[in-house]
Amino acid sequence: MNKYLIDGGRRISGEIRVQGAKNSALPILAASIMCTGSSVIENCPCLSDIDAARNIIDYLGCTTEVAGDVITIHTGGLSRSDIPTHLMREMRSSIVFLGAILARTGRARISYPGGCELGPRPIDLHIYGLRQLGAEIAEDHGYIDCTIPNGLKGAHINLSFPSVGATENVMIAATLAKGETSIANAAREPEIVDLANYLNACGAKIKGAGESTIFIEGVKELTGTHHAVIPDRIAAATFLSAAAVTGGEIWLNEIHPRHIGAVVPVLEQAGCKITLSHNSIHLLSCGRPKAMQTIRTMPYPGFPTDAQAPIMSVAAIADGTTIFVENIFENRFKHVTELIRLGAKVKLEGRVAVVEGTPRLYSASVECTDLRGGAALVVAALVAEGTTEISGVRHIDRGYEKMEDTLASLGAQIRRVE
């Protein structure tokens, strides 16, 4: 098992290019199996979750080729409609293959997905949406069996919560359904827009992505295309946090600042000076951070739940008290116990975390329990006195492309060891 050793107290400073968005690349890779011909997806980050998606695509009978950050998918050999348990358990986002397989082959059999344990993340909205499109779905012994005896048909679907995954699954399947589909209370995340842009380039007819209602007019077939994945807004927020916590300065290039519009004012409250351009962000930290106002995670365009953990590490050394209210995942505070090992002062009460800033954090041996919580531990270790040992970095590898190399290029003393 790999781990990080981080010598804290080094100022983060420098310029980096932001990686492609994991949460955008994964549904696009899943959707590619519906297309005839080949799709060339650029700006795909090198992550274990991307490898897991490629393993699923290859298992289905398609082939994938990788050259740097470009993945080419050839779908002519698709011959299966099932995903075995060991592949589904590699990542939570594997559920997004359900709509794509069903639309392409007329049936699908998958087990329940794996991924980070962040509390109940039911797939009932996925199943509800696909049933509205005409799918017959049976759940038995941990498997989901889907068929469409009468084909997929357009429908009006009203989601009870703006679930990103359910919006993606329904939108993907609806592109090949007969008639028009509307998704009310749809997720509005930038990754939804990126998926719609890819599908439209393949021949789909989707309008309203990024708004609360999405309209899809079904087409008979999709054709592969070239597409570049958007930059990763959560990776951007993480590296901004690293600079903020160390009193550093950072330039992020090839990023869409509007995608982290809810994060920027929070870091400004912490005392950072931030300058935005059309595709870059500059942050200058002016010493010890200040406490921030109450941070409530919300669906986009609200404050992202994925950025909550790294920002909490900034609050841990801030002057004053910051309150976090987690409204998306009930177990999103699993990193708190490990932050406390580093000297953070955090009190939990259900979905609320009260963080009393302390002038110093101290090194310790800590363990990643999930992707974003692992990122929070890295951010905290950058400012902690002494050498911090972080185990379980396989979780970090799911969402950050060679994080140790990126941070080292910015002046951090970090190394990966067995």
Say if CB 362 and CB 340 are below 8 A apart: no
Read off the DSSP letter of residue 283: E
Is 328 annotated to bind ligand? yes
- Is 405 marked as a binding-site residue? no
279 known member of a binding site:
no
Is 23 assigned a ligand-binding role in the annotation?
Answer: yes
Q: Is 123 annotated as a binding residue?
A: yes
Residues 6+ apart with CB under 8 A from 405: none
Is 92 annotated to bind a ligand? Reply is yes
* Single-letter code of the amino acid located at 416: R
Q: How far apart are CA 33 and CA 48, in angstroms?
A: 20
Three-state secondary structure string covering 136-171: EEEEECCEEEEECCCCCECCEEECCCCCHHHHHHHH
For residues 188 and 164, give the distance between their C-alpha atoms in angstroms, rounded to a whole number.
8
Distances (CA, A) of 389 to 89, 242, 338, 371, 415: 27, 17, 11, 16, 10
Q: Which of 128, 199, 134, 180 is nearest to 158 (CA)?
A: 128
Q: Please say if 116 is a catalytic residue.
A: yes
**Euclidean distance between CA atoms 307 and 261, whole angstroms:** 12
Out of 62, 116, 146, 202, pick the active-site residue: 116
Q: Give the span between the Cα atoms of 203 and 218, in whole angstroms.
A: 10
Residue 124 is assigned to a ligand binding site: yes
When computed from its CA atoms, the radius of gyration of the chain, rounded to whole angstroms, is 21
Q: Which helix (H) or strand (E) holds 193?
A: helix 190-201
Q: Is 416 annotated as a binding residue?
A: no
- Is 274 marked within a binding site? no
The binding site for UDP-N-acetyl-alpha-D-glucosamine comprises 92, 121-125, 306, 328
| Residues in the annotated binding site for phosphoenolpyruvate | 22-23
* Catalytic positions, written as ranges: 116
